[in-house]
C-alpha cells in the first residue's frame, strides 16, 4: 500500500484530526475526527478521497465532535474500544463543563473488543490497547505509522487527571510500546507535532524515567 497521512488541526483544543489515505484507490480512513466536520469533509471531497470508516483512539470530547456528522454524510461505520463507552456517554456533560457546543453522541457500529488485527478494506491495522489516559485508549499501528491519540506526545505523555485516567496503567502502556513496537515508527499524536518512537525513547523525560526504573 502507498499510504499518506493528512492532519487537520480542529477545534478549540487544537486536536489533530487524521485522514489516512491510500494513494492508488483513494480510499481513506478517518482517525479521531475531533471537530469542524465541514473542514474535514471539504478536504476529503477536494482530494476526491473515498472514506470507508472512522476509528477513534479514545472518546474524549475533543476527539469525537465531528464523528456523527461525517458518519451521516458518507454512511460509514465508526469503530471504538468497548471500554470507552462511559467516556462516550459522558460527552454532553464534558462539553458543558468546558463550554463547548454539545453535538450528537456518535453511534458506534463496531465495538473493538480486544487488541489485535483489524482489517478494513485494504487497511490492515494492529490495535494496541494502551489504557491510562482513558480506560479503553488504543494505539493504531499500520505499516510504520503509529497513531497514539493522547497516550504519547513529543516530549510528553497523556494526562491522567480526567475521569477514567490511571497513571499506573499509562506507565504500563508506555512500557509496552517501548518494548514491543519498533523504534523507527512515526508517531502521530492527538495534539502537537509528529515524532518518532526512537526520538521519544532517547529524549522524552517521561520515557527516560520509565526506562531507568526498568534497569
pLDDT band at 61 (very low <50, low <70, confident <90, very high): very high
Instruction: Name residues whose C-beta falls within 8 Å of residue 152's C-beta, 6 or more positions apart in sequence.
Output: 158, 174, 177, 187, 189, 200, 204
Domain that includes residue 81, residue range? 3-214
Q: Return the minimum-mean-pLDDT range out of 15-29, 38-52, 90-104.
A: 90-104
Question: Rounded distance, CA 105 to CA 67, Å?
Answer: 9
Give the residue-averaged pLDDT of 121-146: 98
H/E element holding 16?
A: strand 15-22
Question: How many domains does the chain contain in total?
Answer: 1
pLDDT band at 212 (very low <50, low <70, confident <90, very high): confident
Per-residue CA distances from 109 to 6, 75, 186 (Å): 24, 11, 29
Q: Are 144 and 184 in contact (CB under 8 A)?
A: yes
Q: Are 109 and 78 in contact (CB under 8 A)?
A: yes
Give yes or no for residue 211 having a pLDDT over 90. Answer: no
Q: What is the CATH number of the domain that holds 108?
A: 3.60.15.10
Give the residue-averaged pLDDT of 31-49: 98
What's the length of the chain? 215
What per-residue confidence (pLDDT) applies to 163?
86
Residue 84 DSSP class: G
Question: Rounded distance, CA 195 to CA 49, Å?
Answer: 26
What per-residue confidence (pLDDT) applies to 82?
98
What per-residue confidence (pLDDT) applies to 214?
65
Amino acid at each position: 500500500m502507498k499510504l499518506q497521512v493528512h492532519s487537520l488541526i480542529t477545534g478549540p483544543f487544537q486536536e489533530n484530526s487524521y485522514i489516512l489515505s491510500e494513494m492508488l484507490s483513494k480510499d481513506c480512513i478517518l482517525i479521531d475526527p475531533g471537530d469542524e466536520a465541514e473542514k474535514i469533509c471539504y478536504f476529503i471531497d477536494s482530494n476526491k478521497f473515498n472514506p470507508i470508516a472512522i476509528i477513534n483512539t479514545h472518546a474524549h470530547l475533543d476527539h469525537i465532535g465531528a464523528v456523527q456528522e461525517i458518519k451521516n454524510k458518507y454512511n460509514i461505520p465508526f469503530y471504538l474500544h468497548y471500554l470507552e463507552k462511559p467516556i462516550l456517554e459522558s460527552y454532553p456533560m464534558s462539553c458543558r463543563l468546558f463550554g463547548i457546543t454539545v453535538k450528537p453522541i456518535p453511534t458506534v457500529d463496531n465495538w473493538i473488543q480486544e487488541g489485535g488485527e483489524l482489517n478494513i478494506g485494504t487497511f490492515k491495522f494492529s490495535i494496541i490497547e494502551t489504557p491510562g489516559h482513558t480506560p479503553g485508549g488504543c494505539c493504531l499501528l499500520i505499516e510504520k505509522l503509529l497513531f497514539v491519540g493522547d497516550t504519547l506526545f513529543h516530549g510528553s505523555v497523556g494526562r491522567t487527571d480526567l475521569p477514567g485516567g490511571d497513571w499506573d496503567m499509562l506507565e504500563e502502556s508506555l512500557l509496552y510500546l517501548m518494548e514491543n513496537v519498533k523504534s523507527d515508527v512515526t508517531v502521530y499524536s492527538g495534539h502537537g507535532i509528529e515524532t518518532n518512537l526512537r526520538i521519544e525513547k532517547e529524549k522524552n523525560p517521561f520515557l527516560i524515567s520509565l526506562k531507568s526504573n526498568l534497569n
